[in-house]
Amino acid sequence: MKMRKIIIANWKMNPQSLEEAKSIFNGTKRAAAKLKKTLTVVCPPFVYLSTLGSSISKGKLSFQAGAQDLFWKEKGSYTGEISAEMLKSVGAKYVIVGHSERREYFGESNDIVNKKIKAGLKAGLNVVLCVGEKDREPGVFLRYIKDEIEEGLKGIQRVFLKKLIIAYEPIWAIGKKGPAADSPEDVLQMSIYIKKILLPIAGKELMPKIPILYGGSVNPKNAEGFLRDAGVQGLLIGHESLVPEHFGEILKIAEKI
């Protein structure tokens, strides 16, 4: 069965005003409107989520809003934090967890990521678990990815994994302007490896249904190679998702493959 492509926009801490956010969001929505076989998910900063999420028409399943993070507690004295229920109440259906920038700047360990994944899945959100190595040091980086997945998913019942997505994002390939992305050939090897890790965790029925995405300097020029040859079901896109024309081109490519 051919699964629909999933293209996720991670805006990170951009743009700097709600007005700009509306403009990028509307441009993206227009680009996504014509698509039938591609799911588009836009993950803006928390503060814009409510306004933007509420502008998505109900029943429009191919265009959704998501968040870039969440906290694992349901409510209470956790200054500055946002819960899964809060996200759901403003229309978010997806949440990114364990992005390498959160791991690096906010000290998120696999244990913290695990708590966040549990909270997101338990609340019924689709959770995008980001994994990726800092460099390709032989003998080390494969273990690193394995630990991120196994520890991130520890103790989660299989039934909840139906809403899990894995985004493979090698850290060294993130945020580059030039031809610095990984290669489709290497990502293919990595997607096979990730499936192997997932097999005992998810079981043979569910494992093939867990989408694996690639992220790291994807642009309109290299998107086709990843979507065609890398064994992935979609893409997680950072800086190019802030330019609706470029993001729209990537959506068109996804739709035609």
Q: Letter for the amino acid at 212?
A: I
Kindly state the DSSP code that residue 176 receives in the 8-state scheme: -
Alpha helices in 90-183 (DSSP H): 100-105, 110-122, 141-152
Catalytic residue among 148, 169, 239, 246: 169
In the set 99, 108, 133, 240, the catalytic residue is 99
Residue numbers at the binding site for ligand PEP (CB under 6 A):
10, 169, 174-175, 215-218, 236-240
Residue 167 and residue 156: Cα distance in Å, rounded?
Answer: 18
CB nearer to ligand PEP: pick between 49 and 236: 236
CB 82 within 8 A of CB 48: no
Residue type, 28: T
The position carrying tokens 């503060």 is 47
Q: How far is the CB of 157 from ligand PEP (least distance, A)?
A: 28
User: Residue 152 or 201: which CB sits closer to ligand PEP?
Assistant: 152
| Half-sphere exposure in the Cβ direction for 232 (13 Å, CA) | 31
Q: How far is the CB of 29 from ligand PEP (least distance, A)?
A: 20
> What is the distance between the alpha carbons of residues 106 and 1, in angstroms, rounded to a whole number?
40
Q: Which is nearer to ligand PEP, 165 or 202 (CB)?
A: 165
Query: 66 vs 238, which CB is nearer to ligand PEP?
Result: 238
Q: Scanning the structure block, which residue is given the tokens 């690096």?
A: 104
What's the min distance (Å) between Cβ of 61 and ligand PEP?
Answer: 23
Residues 95, 120: contact at Cβ < 8 Å? yes
Residue 38 · residue 2 · CB < 8 Å: no
Q: How far is the CB of 236 from ligand PEP (least distance, A)?
A: 5
Residue 128, CA distances (Å) to 30, 104, 125, 233, 249 in order:
24, 18, 9, 13, 23
By beta-carbon proximity to ligand PEP, the closer residue of 184 and 215 is: 215
By beta-carbon proximity to ligand PEP, the closer residue of 194 and 202 is 194
Q: Smallest gap, in angstroms, from Cβ of residue 36 to ligand PEP? A: 25
CA distance 97 to 70: 7
Q: For residues 122 and 73, is the Cβ–Cβ distance under 8 A?
A: no
Smallest separation (angstroms) from ligand PEP to the CB of 1: 27
246 among known catalytic residues: no
Number of residue whose CB is nearest ligand PEP: 238
Would you name the residues annotated as active-site residues? Answer: 99, 169
